[in-house]
Amino acid sequence: MMDHEQALQLLPGYIDEELSLSESLDFERHLATCEECRRIYEQDRQVNAQLRQADLRMDAPPELVKRIKAALPGPPRSGNGCAIGSAGGPRAGRSVGHRLARWC
């Protein structure tokens, strides 16, 4: 008979359906007798289900998409290249944002 500690260790595997048949059965037997494990199991199962749903829906919030797009470099310019590395110089007091807007 599985004890409580063992059950807790197997719990994540049980939720992910990674346990062997005999381990699952032992776990379920413990679950039927242990209120604390049932509670933890229910919580983890819900979190797990939410994570899976989040995985399926890849929609990022529009605001985030905008920010990501803004942070990505624009189309590459041929020739002069981007002077980010050397743009600091004596004017290093300026913010990176200013430098990017000015030099790229």
Residue 4 as a binder of Zn ion (CB under 5 A): the answer is: yes
Q: Which of 2, 10, 19, 37 binds Zn ion (CB under 5 A)?
A: 37
Neighbours of 2 (CB within 10 A): 20
Binding pattern to Zn ion, positions 50-79, x when CB under 5 A? Answer: ------------------------------
Taking the complex as a whole, the smallest distance from the CB of residue 58 to Zn ion amounts, in Å, to: 36
Q: Which residues contact 1 (CB under 8 A, 6 or more apart)?
A: 26, 29, 30
Residue 7 as a binder of Zn ion (CB under 5 A): the answer is: yes
Stretch that binds Zn ion, among 17-25, 31-39, 65-73, 95-103 (CB under 5 A): 31-39
Tokens, residue 86: 């050397």
Number of residues that bind Zn ion (CB under 5 A): 4
Burial call 46-74: b when 16+ CB within 10 Å, e when fewer = eeeeeeeeeeeeeeeeeeeeeeeeeeeee
Which residues bind to Zn ion, rule: CB under 5 A?
4, 7, 34, 37
